[in-house]
Chain A
Amino acid sequence: MSGKGSPAASRRKGLTLTDVLVTVVVSLVLGVVYHVWASVSSIAGLLFVQSDELVYGMWFAASTLAFLLIRKPGVALIAEIAAAHLEIAFGSAYGIQLLLYSVVQGLAAELVFAAFRYRNTSAGVAGLAGVAAAAGSLLADIYYGYVAEYATWLIVLKYSLRAVSAFVIAGLLMYGLAKLLEKAGVTQSLRPVDRKEYDALDG
Chain B
Amino acid sequence: MKFFEPSRETWLHRANPALKLPLFVVLFVLTVLTHRIDASFYLACAFLLLLFCASGYPPWKTALLASGFALAFASASLTMILFGKGSEIWWSLGPVSISEESFYRGLHVGFRSIAFGSQGLLLVLTTSSTGLFYALMQRLKLSPKYAYSFMASIRLMPMALEELRIRRDALAVRGTGRGSFSLMRLPELYALPLLAQSIRRAQRTALAMEVKRFDTGKTRTYFYASPITWNDFAAFLLLAGTAAAALLLANGLPVFGLGDMRMDP
Say yes or no: A146 contacts B124, CB within 8 Å: no
Chain A residues contacting B146 (CB-CB under 8 Å) are 20, 78
Interface size class of B (residues with CB under 8 A): 35 or more
Say yes or no: B160 contacts A32, CB within 8 Å: yes
Say yes or no: B157 contacts A189, CB within 8 Å: no
Chain A residues contacting B85 (CB-CB under 8 Å) are 149-151
Residue A154 interfacial (CB < 8 Å): yes
Say yes or no: B200 contacts A186, CB within 8 Å: yes
Stretch at the interface among B208-216, B223-231, B238-246, B250-258: B208-216
Say yes or no: A95 contacts B150, CB within 8 Å: no
Q: Of the candidates B125, B156, B210, which one forms a contact with A25 in the assembled complex, judged by CB atoms under 8 Å apart?
A: B156
Chain B residues contacting A116 (CB-CB under 8 Å) are none
The complex places the Cα of A93 from the Cα of B80 at a distance, in Å, of: 22
Chain A residues contacting B201 (CB-CB under 8 Å) are 25
Say yes or no: A88 contacts B124, CB within 8 Å: yes
B43 to chain A, nearest CB (A): 14
Say yes or no: B188 contacts A180, CB within 8 Å: yes
The interface bits of chain A over 130-164 (1 if a CB of B lies within 8 angstroms of the residue's CB, else 0) are 00000000000001111011110110000000000
The complex places the Cα of A138 from the Cα of B93 at a distance, in Å, of: 27
Say yes or no: A93 contacts B153, CB within 8 Å: no
Residue B76 interfacial (CB < 8 Å): yes
Chain A residues contacting B4 (CB-CB under 8 Å) are 91
Given contacts A18-B206, A95-B120, contact A177 B191 (CB under 8 A): yes
Residue B198 interfacial (CB < 8 Å): yes
The complex places the Cα of A190 from the Cα of B195 at a distance, in Å, of: 13
Given contacts A89-B129, A145-B76, A146-B261, contact A21 B32 (CB under 8 A): no
Say yes or no: A186 contacts B95, CB within 8 Å: no
Chain A residues contacting B199 (CB-CB under 8 Å) are 22, 25-26, 69, 181, 186, 190
Say yes or no: B120 contacts A145, CB within 8 Å: no
The complex places the Cα of A6 from the Cα of B14 at a distance, in Å, of: 48
Residue A8 interfacial (CB < 8 Å): no
Say yes or no: B117 contacts A94, CB within 8 Å: yes
Say yes or no: B95 contacts A49, CB within 8 Å: yes
Residue B45 interfacial (CB < 8 Å): no
A104 to chain B, nearest CB (A): 13
Q: Of the candidates A18, A95, A153, which one forms a contact with B95 in the assembled complex, judged by CB atoms under 8 Å apart?
A: A153
Say yes or no: A100 contacts B206, CB within 8 Å: no
Chain A residues contacting B52 (CB-CB under 8 Å) are none
Residue B148 interfacial (CB < 8 Å): yes
Say yes or no: A21 contacts B209, CB within 8 Å: yes
Say yes or no: B25 contacts A28, CB within 8 Å: no
Q: Of the candidates B76, B192, B203, which one forms a contact with A18 in the assembled complex, judged by CB atoms under 8 Å apart?
A: B203
Say yes or no: A32 contacts B161, CB within 8 Å: yes
Chain B residues contacting A9 (CB-CB under 8 Å) are none
Say yes or no: B145 contacts A15, CB within 8 Å: yes
Chain A residues contacting B145 (CB-CB under 8 Å) are 15-17, 20
Residue B236 interfacial (CB < 8 Å): no
Residue A44 interfacial (CB < 8 Å): no
The complex places the Cα of A95 from the Cα of B27 at a distance, in Å, of: 13
Which of B4, B28, B66 has the most chain A CB atoms closer than 10 A to its own CB? B28
The interface bits of chain A over 62-84 (1 if a CB of B lies within 8 angstroms of the residue's CB, else 0) are 00000001000000001000100
A77 to chain B, nearest CB (A): 11
Say yes or no: B83 contacts A22, CB within 8 Å: no
Which of B123, B145, B194, B263 has the most chain A CB atoms closer than 10 A to its own CB? B145
Residue A92 interfacial (CB < 8 Å): yes
Chain A residues contacting B109 (CB-CB under 8 Å) are 145-146
Say yes or no: A93 contacts B124, CB within 8 Å: yes
Given contacts A92-B120, A94-B117, A186-B200, contact A20 B84 (CB under 8 A): no
Residues of B5-29 whose CB lies within 8 A of A: 24-25, 28
Q: Which A residues fall within an 8 A CB radius of B? A: 15-18, 20-29, 31-33, 49, 69, 78, 82, 85-86, 88-89, 91-97, 100, 143-146, 148-151, 153-154, 173, 176-177, 180-181, 184, 186, 189-190
Q: A86-B153, A177-B191 are in contact. List 5 more A-B contacts (CB 8 A).
A: A18-B210, A89-B129, A93-B116, A94-B116, A181-B195
Offer 11 A-B interface pairs, CB within 8 angstroms, sorted by A: A17-B145, A18-B206, A20-B145, A28-B198, A31-B157, A89-B129, A92-B124, A93-B72, A94-B120, A149-B102, A149-B105
